[in-house]
Amino acid sequence: MAKVTLKNLRHSYYPNPKKPEDYALKEIDLEWQDGGAYALLGPSGCGKSTLLNIISGLLQPSEGQILFDDTDVTETEPNARNIAQIFQFPVIYDTMTVYNNLAFPLRNRGVEEARVDQRVREIAEMLELDDMLDQRASGLTPDNKQKISMGRGLVRDDVNVIMFDEPLTVIDPALKWKLRSKLKELHQKVNVTMIYVTHDQTEALTFADQVVVMQDGEIVQIGTPVELFERPAHTFVGHFIGSPGMNVLPCEVRDGAAYFDGQKIALEGAIGDVAGAKTEIGVRPEFVSIASTGLKATVRKATNIGRHTVVEARVGDIKVNAVSDKDNFEPGQEIHLKFDPAKTRVYADGWIATDRAVP
């Protein structure tokens, strides 16, 4: 178990990177506490898998350092780093039984057989694999195979970090849910630092204590699931997390106030220096209410999603989503929208530009 520190990490797949675009990872500085559950969230190609492979040692970074506790492991081989990685597709050794699969990492390290047996049975029980230990691993279902690859990481008690690279991709939706809660439960039991890479916001938000959101090789925000939802630091986070994503509306900033559709919009706090930047208002649909006064809008369509209705409205030509408890909306209907000031912010060139509300 270890604290993971990434210092000035940069990586490029080209031999001589020059432009910032040549870098798959641009300047990453991070510190992950021992025993935490972290998620790396971002769309495909944002560099999250690159980052994961750098931590596991499968890839050497172009620049920067990786520290486990206070030891520099940048140059260390993967098998010497004491990490475990679970891949997108379950990796199992087809010819071996479940038992031998789980014992494999221990036997490779010369652990004595009595200890191997004890650990394998312990982990198998934890993963509910104990009744199939003597079966050949190749005949199992994908979720059990994925459990085996997790188990191979868990059997080693010297493991520093366990990393998951989109581990639920090939699992059936119903089992996905089960396996996800199993993971969470495992984390509480073994208390090892876990890093979970995914592009699925639900997976990231349910698993992690802290989520790192990445875009184009950069970290855009690090925060708890609640923070990411309540106060996105970047319009990308607002858009990527939440369903539907945050409304991002073009606005005009004059004399320290923001105007949208000619109306002054009340905000969370004072606007910082936004001179010359593209300014936008960001507000989540959950914080847009339908009122008797306020912004005039026309309903385009309303979708009932169970407990709520998502109302897609237009202010002028601009689409604004709102979430309402009522469901009596007709296309073409004239309504008024009101933004919750405490949750409404101005973003300059994508980054948050309003001060935090004083409680």
Partner 1 sequence: MKTQNQKGWLFVLPVLILVAFNALIPLMTVVNYSVQETFGNNLFFWQGLDWFEQVLRSERFHGALGRQAMFTGIILAVEIPLGVAIALAMPRSGPWVSVCLVLMALPLLIPWNVVGAMWNIFTLPDIGLAGYTLNTVLGIDYDMTQSPFAAWATIITMDVWHWTSLVVLLAYAGIISIPDAYYQAAKIDGASSWAVFRHIQLPKMKRVLTIAVLLRFMDSFNIYTEPFVLTGGGPGNSTTLLSIDLVKTALGQFDLGPAAAMSLIYFAVTLLVSWLFYTIMMRDEE
Please report whether residue 259 would count as binding partner 1 according to CB under 8 A.
Answer: no
Strands 37-41 and 193-198: parallel
H or E element, residue 348: strand 345-348
**Nearer to partner 1 (CB atom), residue 199 or residue 300:** 199
Would you say 164 or 339 has its CB closer to partner 1? 164
| Residue in this structure with the two tokens 């650990």, named with its chain if needed | 119
Q: Does 95 bind partner 1 (CB under 8 A)?
A: yes
Q: Which of 108, 243, 292, 328 binds partner 1 (CB under 8 A)?
A: 108
Contact 306, 321 (CB under 8 A): no
Stretch that binds partner 1, among 83-91, 198-206, 293-301, 304-312 (CB under 8 A): 83-91
Residue of the chain from 69, 94, 113, 172 that contacts partner 1 (CB under 8 A) = 94
Q: Which is nearer to partner 1, 115 or 356 (CB)?
A: 115
Is residue 289 a contact residue for partner 1 (CB under 8 A)? no
State how far the Cα of 60 lies from the Cα of 216, in Å rounded to an integer. Answer: 19
Q: Minimum distance between the CB of residue 112 and partner 1, rounded to whole angstroms?
A: 16
Binding of residue 222 to partner 1 (CB under 8 A): no
253: contact with partner 1 by CB under 8 A: no
Q: Interface with partner 1 includes 74 (CB under 8 A)?
A: no
Under the binding rule (CB under 8 A), the answer on residue 60 touching partner 1 is no
**Choice from 7, 34, 67, 89 touching partner 1 (CB under 8 A):** 89
Region near partner 1 per CB under 8 A, out of 9-17, 34-42, 51-59, 286-294: 51-59
Among 220, 223, 218, 219, residue whose Cα is nearest residue 208: 223
Mapping DSSP to helix (H, G, I), strand (E, B) and coil, where does residue 345 land? strand
Of 87 and 259, which CB lies nearer to partner 1 in the complex structure? 87
Query: Residues binding partner 1: what is the number (CB under 8 A)?
Result: 25
Characterize the bridge pairing of strands 83-86 and 161-165.
parallel
- Taking the CA atoms of residue 312, residue 313, residue 317 and residue 318 in that order, the dihedral angle to the nearest 10 degrees is -70
- Dist. CA 186–CA 32, nearest whole Å: 19
For position 11 contacting partner 1 by CB under 8 A, the verdict is: no
Taking the complex as a whole, the smallest distance from the CB of residue 96 to partner 1 amounts, in Å, to 7
Q: How far is CA 107 from CA 134, 145, 151, 251, 298, in A?
A: 17, 20, 14, 63, 67
The Cα–Cα gap between 321 and 332 comes to: 15
8: left (phi over 0), alpha (psi -120 to 50) or beta: left
CA 1/CA 294 separation, integer angstroms: 54
Nearest distance, CB of residue 171 and partner 1, angstroms: 16
Instruction: Give 108 or 293: the residue with its C-beta nearer to partner 1.
Output: 108
In the bound state with partner 1, the residue whose beta carbon lies nearer, of 67 and 91, is 91
* Sequential DSSP letters for 28-86: EEEEE-TT-EEEEE--TTSSHHHHHHHHHTSS--SEEEEEETTEE-TT--GGGTTEEEE
Asked if residue 157 lies in contact with residue 189, where contact means CB atoms within 8 angstroms, the answer is no
Stretch that binds partner 1, among 33-41, 94-102, 194-202, 330-338 (CB under 8 A): 94-102
136-155 binders of partner 1 (CB under 8 A): 138-139, 149, 152
User: Does the footprint of partner 1 cover residue 84 (CB under 8 A)?
Assistant: yes
Binding region for partner 1 (CB under 8 A): 53, 56, 58, 77-79, 83-85, 87-89, 91, 93-96, 104-105, 108-109, 138-139, 149, 152
